[in-house]
Amino acid sequence: MRVTFSLFHALAVLNWLLATESLIYFSLAVLQALEDGLKRADADPSVKAVTICGENGKFSAGADIRGFSSPNKQGLGLGPIVSLIERSEKPVVAAIEGIALGGGLEVTLGCHYRIAHVQARMGLPEVTIGLLPGAEGTQRLPRLIGVPAALDIITTGRHISASEALKLGLVDEVVEENTVEAAIRLANRLIGQPLGHRRLSLKPVPKLPNMEAFLTEALVKVKKRAQGCLAPELCFQAIKAATEQPFADGVRKERELFNILLTSGQAKALQYAFFAERAVEKWTTPSGASWKTASPQPIRKAAVIGLGTMGRGIVTSLVKAKIPVVALEQDLEYLNTGRKAVMLLLEREAMKMEQGGQTLDFNNPARLQFAVDFDVLRDVDLVIEAVFENMALKKEIFNKLSRICKPEAFLCTNTSALNIDEIASVTSRPQQVIGTHFFSPAHVMRLLEIIYGRHTSPTTIATAMQLAKVMKKVGVVVGNCFGFVGNRMMFPYVQQAVFLLEEGSRPEDVDQVLEDFGFKIGPFRMSDLAGLDVGWRSRKDQGLTGPTLAPGTSARQRHGYRYSPLPDLLCEKGRFGQKTGKGWYQYEKAGGRTAKPDPWIHSFLSEYRDTHQIKTRFIDQEEILERCLFTLINEGFDILAEGIASGPEHLDVVYINGYGWPKHRGGPMFYASTVGLPNILAKLQKYSEIHPDVPQLRPSAFLKKLVAMGNPPLNDWMSYLHRQSNKL
């Protein structure tokens, strides 16, 4: 960041470099230099006005987030510097280019005027890392743009464009050319003019006719959206303080609330999640392939095969990413249904984008083409297959693709669990075959699990990662195993949930505990939403139920282990979930969305327990939570030990972005580290002794090893993988 001193009646401009050029966030050195610069400007009578700008076209991304968890908390001295700027007797103008986020934007609020480049983005995203704007931003922003707009920006942390900032009155001018020069021109014009009315701390918060009612209603909304996350509510309280107290008292309240958040585990978890998401971009594989050496190939045209639940969303994501797409179905009837569904999704997306001043062009055949003939795939660079989850069908499709598509084309499968190597084996280019596992709804969910097979080339991985980025998704590179990372960890979680029903719980009890923990939706509501038939089909394919099940197989055992036939029994009764109006819950109609506890299920469960002589027992919240979550985490340790994922942050990013894991708990593996691995191990041992026929409850060898090694911090776990432990 630079402070530019503007000299009255002089063309000469004194620039003083304050920060290391590459840093876009505040370090202690930057803060010190900013303070020194301001004091020098103030003391120098030849300086008549000041502009503050960033380096390399970026104003500032705010405080250094890593500083919040270091003992020497960096950035905490920013508030007084903002006040110092505001008190200046010389006009101070902010020249906002690129980004002005968090503390960066708060610095501009201390300035007397703000000019932004048309491409600039602004925001106070502290809430997303578990904090609130702690450099007096919660007190100045409502004074500048009013309470409703300030509440929206601060409690959501969303970025706003320069044009929105201008409409809101957050900036005074938007320029298309050189922002710094425009700011210097303005600063020169301001010399000698009164500044009192531009000092936000002296302004009252604009009144609303119904402030109290507005705030009461707003709090309800903020809490509902927060789903157990503390920061939005404390942001709200800080803004409320601005409406009730003088500026200085409001600032004291802001500091107090900031401190509560800073020392809360939630801020630590959210900041971990911020860096985890960036860490997974730097992918590596056990064979040594890595983001450093692999280059992506350009994708100029793509194809999607199958326009069912997933294909529709994938086509929509590609169109939004401005990649021309061919959408292909098995026959004209399916094609017409798929086309209508895709067009509806695109129309809705276009409407949303229009509200943000953007357009979406999808009515042009060069951008989106529908077909039933595979021949149209000859010139595409990449194909994403999203047909039924059936190995024979997938192999047939991949064999065809391998023959029709140009040799350089990449072939991707959206399978949820099937073996990538087996699919690749029917092609003549296994090095260009990869799993791209989208999550439903595919145009909304941010996760893209990218699964490399034995022969997948680094270029193919890099291309899939690049595709994720272009589609604004988070790509996570993982190895090939049944269910990959996400579904493999989900399996023991859902299995425990069903076992709990056998033993005495009701679906709504289990869902409630997990939703109170912070999951957007509990396992039974999720199962009803996704459709119980999906898992049923997979279990039939695996020979776990249905006609291929060997006669005489015990109802509650498979391969010597505990098995629950409950989901199969529901499917046999046509209870597929929301789509049939009945599943683990009842719905108002087929396709209904409001889940109501179903007395039929309650009596069905008690009859089931009677039939199998299971004594119904009361299961408390702690047991529900521990059995569901600790088995999921336990599987995570096996995944790490097998090298399926290269670090715990991969598992956490998958769970936060694909499975509704509460971000303020940092992901399952981060959560495990906060609970303490010895505690998790002890509980798994206890439950495993009670249920010896459930292998998923047996503690992972890697978990045991980490405990034996003294419960090291999460970022050291992987270094223990191959270390010897004499305590084992």
Ligand X SMILES: NC(=O)c1ccc[n+]([C@@H]2O[C@H](COP(=O)([O-])OP(=O)(O)OC[C@H]3O[C@@H](n4cnc5c(N)ncnc54)[C@H](O)[C@@H]3O)[C@@H](O)[C@H]2O)c1
List residues near ligand LNIPZVSO by CB under 6 A: 25, 61-66, 73, 75-76, 78-79, 99, 101-103, 106, 125-126, 129, 131, 133-135, 137, 255, 258-259, 262, 275, 278
Which of 175, 200, 299, 307 is close enough to bind ligand X by CB under 6 A?
307
415 in contact with ligand X (CB under 6 A): yes
Selected catalytic residue, list 55, 97, 106, 649: 106
Exposed e or buried b per residue across 64-100, where buried means at least 16 C-beta atoms within 10 angstroms of its C-beta: bbebbeeeeebbbebbebbbbbbebebbbbbbbbbbb
**Of 214, 274, 291, 334, which lies in the binding site for ligand X, with binding defined by CB under 6 A?**
334
Show the CA angle centred on residue 450, arms to residues 448 and 455, nearest 5°. Answer: 165
Residue 222 binds: one of ligand X, ligand LNIPZVSO, none (C-beta under 5 to 8 A by kind) = none
* 3-class SS of residue 541: helix
Residue 649 annotated in active site: no
The answer to whether 143 and 200 have CB atoms below 8 angstroms apart is yes
**Closest residue to bound ligand X by CB:** 308
In this structure, are strands 99-101 and 302-305 parallel, antiparallel, or unpaired?
unpaired
> At its nearest, how many Å lie between ligand LNIPZVSO and the CB of residue 135?
4
Selection from ligand LNIPZVSO, ligand X, none that 492 binds (CB < 5 to 8 A by kind) is none
By beta-carbon proximity to ligand LNIPZVSO, the closer residue of 25 and 236 is 25
Sheet of strand 160-161, all strands in order from the earlier edge strand to the far edge: 99-101, 121-123, 160-161
In this chain, which stretch among 130-138, 266-274, 325-333, 610-618 interacts with ligand X, using CB under 6 A? 325-333
Contact (Cβ atoms closer than 8 angstroms) between residue 477 and residue 444? no
305 binds ligand X (CB under 6 A): yes
Neighbouring-strand partners of residue 6:
13, 49
411 binds, among ligand LNIPZVSO, ligand X, none (CB under 5 to 8 A by kind): none
Q: What is the DSSP string of 52-100?
A: EE-BTTB-B--B-GGGGGSSS-TTTTHHHHHHHHHH-SS-EEEEE-SEE
Beta partners for 601? Answer: none
**Residue 483 Cα distances to 490, 537, 608, angstroms:** 9, 15, 29
Nearer to ligand LNIPZVSO, 231 or 405 (CB): 231
| Binding segment toward ligand X, per CB under 6 A, in 77-85, 86-94, 301-309, 591-599 | 301-309
Q: Which of residues 360-389 bind ligand X (CB under 6 A)?
A: 386-389
656 is a contact residue toward ligand X (CB under 6 A) = no
Q: Which of 55, 86, 97, 126 is catalytic?
A: 126
Backbone dihedral region of 581: left (phi > 0), alpha (psi from -120 to 50 degrees) or beta? left
Tokens, residue 275: 């860096």
Q: Report how far residue 489's alpha carbon sits from residue 151's, in angstroms, rounded to the nearest whole number.
A: 38
530 touches ligand X by CB under 6 A: yes
> Which residue's CB is nearer to ligand X, number 269 or number 387?
387
Residues 434-453 that bind ligand X (CB under 6 A): 437-440
Q: Are 37 and 4 in contact (CB under 8 A)?
A: no
Partner whose binding site includes residue 414, from ligand X, ligand LNIPZVSO, none (CB under 5 to 8 Å by kind):
ligand X
With respect to ligand X, which residue has the nearer C-beta, 448 or 566? 448
Verify binding: residue 424, ligand X, rule CB under 6 A. Answer: no
Active site residue 126: yes
Cα(36)–Cα(50) distance, integer angstroms = 13
Per rule CB under 6 A, count of chain residues that contact ligand X? 26
Q: Which tokens sit at 429? A: 């280019």
Q: Annotated catalytic sites, by residue? A: 106, 126
User: What residues make contact with ligand X under the rule CB under 6 A?
Assistant: 305-311, 328-330, 334, 338, 386-389, 393, 397, 414-416, 437-440, 530
